[in-house]
């Protein structure tokens, strides 16, 4: 049997599916460059990407997992949480990229390499081998990756919803595709977050592809927790948690 879904969740599902279909049919490269989230110093960046990246997905398995989670845990009362978590995920991921990028940029600039020339070179999709006289290859790869990597997907928003669900309903048992027995939300959801934290700090992927934006997942989870904690503490209305 299929569970009923609210209009808000239905609209989110439809928008995500339409955007995925348009991406596959029109031009994945063009759609990702227009609507994925890029580093602000990159010429491909547009302010709208902070919102549109939440409706873009990198492949069929990516959108299927996110939409299944939205279908299972989403309600109208979670719509603000969905967008708050998605935005929080984006901002925290960008802050992380800013730190990685500018900490290395400062080293290059302090060695009398012109900042504008560096940005122009990166925006041409190139790099200067002379930079390796100042930084090592690992730092160079981190520098280029922070500048060029785009982020797509609703995963940050989904993680915010998962965390809020686990916080509000910790004893609820969840049946998972890859675990043959029910697991309580208070164990399952922190477990997923710990796996992402491990992958974010070590670079070792467990279940997700190696290009997964783990920092965005953690940012969405943190934002979702802060929002739901504030809501519950202040009890805006007696029916919010029904």
Q: Is 2 part of a structural domain of the chain?
A: no
Asked whether residue 97 is domain-assigned, the answer is yes
Residue 115: domain span: 7-234
Q: How far apart are the first and last CA of the chain?
A: 22
Split into its structural domains, the chain has a count of 1
Decide if 92 is inside a domain.
yes
Q: Is residue 94 part of a domain?
A: yes
pLDDT (tens digit, 9 = 90+) per residue, 75-123?
656 778 889 999 999 999 999 999 999 999 999 999 999 999 999 999 9
CATH code of the domain covering residue 171: 1.20.1540.10
In a domain, 135, yes or no: yes
pLDDT of residue 178: 60
How far, in Å, CA of 202 to CA of 211, rounded? 13
CB 197 within 8 A of CB 210: no
Report d(CA 63, CA 110) in Å as an integer: 43
- Domain membership flag for residue 1: no
Strands 179-184, 173-176: pairing is antiparallel
Label residue 239 by pLDDT band (50, 70, 90).
Answer: very low
Quote the pLDDT of residue 1. 41
pLDDT band of residue 210 (cuts 50, 70, 90) is low
Q: 13-37 in b/e burial notation, b at 16+ Cβ within 10 A?
A: beebeebbeebeeeeeeebbebbbb
Full-model pTM? 0.83
User: Is there a domain that residue 241 lies in?
Assistant: no
At 154, the pLDDT band (50, 70, 90 cuts) reads: confident
List pLDDT tens digits, range 35-68.
Answer: 999 999 999 999 999 999 999 998 888 899 888 8
Q: Are 207 and 195 in contact (CB under 8 A)?
A: yes
Q: Would you say residue 242 lies in a domain?
A: no
State the average pLDDT for the chain: 87
């Amino acid at each position: 049997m299929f569970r009923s879904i609210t209009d808000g969740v239905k609209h989110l599902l439809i928008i995500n599916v339409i955007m995925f279909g348009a991406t596959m049919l029109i031009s994945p490269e063009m759609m990702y460059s227009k609507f994925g989230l890029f580093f602000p110093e990159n010429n491909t960046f547009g302010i709208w990407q902070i919102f549109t990246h939440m409706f873009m997905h990198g492949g069929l398995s990516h959108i299927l997992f996110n939409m299944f989670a939205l279908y299972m845990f989403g309600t109208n009362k979670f719509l603000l949480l969905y967008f708050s978590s998605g935005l929080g995920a984006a901002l925290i991921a960008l802050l992380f990229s800013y730190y990685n990028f500018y900490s290395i940029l400062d080293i290059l600039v302090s060695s009398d390499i012109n900042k504008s020339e560096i940005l122009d070179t990166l925006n041409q999709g190139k790099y200067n081998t002379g930079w390796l006289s100042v930084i090592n290859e690992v730092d160079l790869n981190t520098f280029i990756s922070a500048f060029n990597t785009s982020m797509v997907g609703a995963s940050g928003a989904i993680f915010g919803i998962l965390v809020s669900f686990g916080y509000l309903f910790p004893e609820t048992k969840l049946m998972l595709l890859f675990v043959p027995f029910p697991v309580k939300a208070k164990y399952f959801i922190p477990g997923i977050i710990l796996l992402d934290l491990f992958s974010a700090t070590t670079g070792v992927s467990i279940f997700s592809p190696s290009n997964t934006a783990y920092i965005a997942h953690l940012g969405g989870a943190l934002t979702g927790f802060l929002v739901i904690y504030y809501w519950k503490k202040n009890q805006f209305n007696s029916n919010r948690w029904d």
